[in-house]
C-alpha cells in the first residue's frame, strides 16, 4: 500500500515503521504524506491505544 512505511497493530499498539534505510529515512514529500495519512488512520482505529514510531 505504502512505499516508504510499514504499519501493523499488535495488542492495541499501532506500529509505524519508516522504511527507507537506503536514504537513512530522510524526510521527503512521499514519506511525510504517507506518515501523516497513516497516523490519521491509526488515530481513528478503535483497536489502537498507543502509537509507536520506529525506523528500519
pTM as predicted: 0.91
Residue 8 has a pLDDT of 97
Q: How far apart are CA 51 and CA 16, in angstroms?
A: 7
Residue 18 has a pLDDT of 98
What is the mean pLDDT of each successive set of 10 residues along the chain, which is 56 residues long? 95 98 96 98 98 97
Backbone phi, psi, residue 43, to 5°: -60, -35
Residue 10 has a pLDDT of 98
Residue 49 has a pLDDT of 98
Residue 1 has a pLDDT of 82
What is the CATH topology of the domain spanning 5-55? Answer: GMP Synthetase; Chain A, domain 3 (3.30.300)
Adjacent-strand bridge partners of 13: 10, 50
Amino acid at each position: 500500500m505504502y512505499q516508504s512505511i510499514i504499519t501493523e497493530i499488535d495488542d492495541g499498539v499501532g506500529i509505524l515503521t519508516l522504511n527507507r534505510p537506503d536514504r537513512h529515512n530522510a524526510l521527503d514529500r512521499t514519506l511525510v504524506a504517507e506518515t501523516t495519512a497513516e497516523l490519521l488512520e491509526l488515530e481513528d482505529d478503535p483497536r489502537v491505544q498507543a502509537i509507536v514510531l520506529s525506523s528500519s
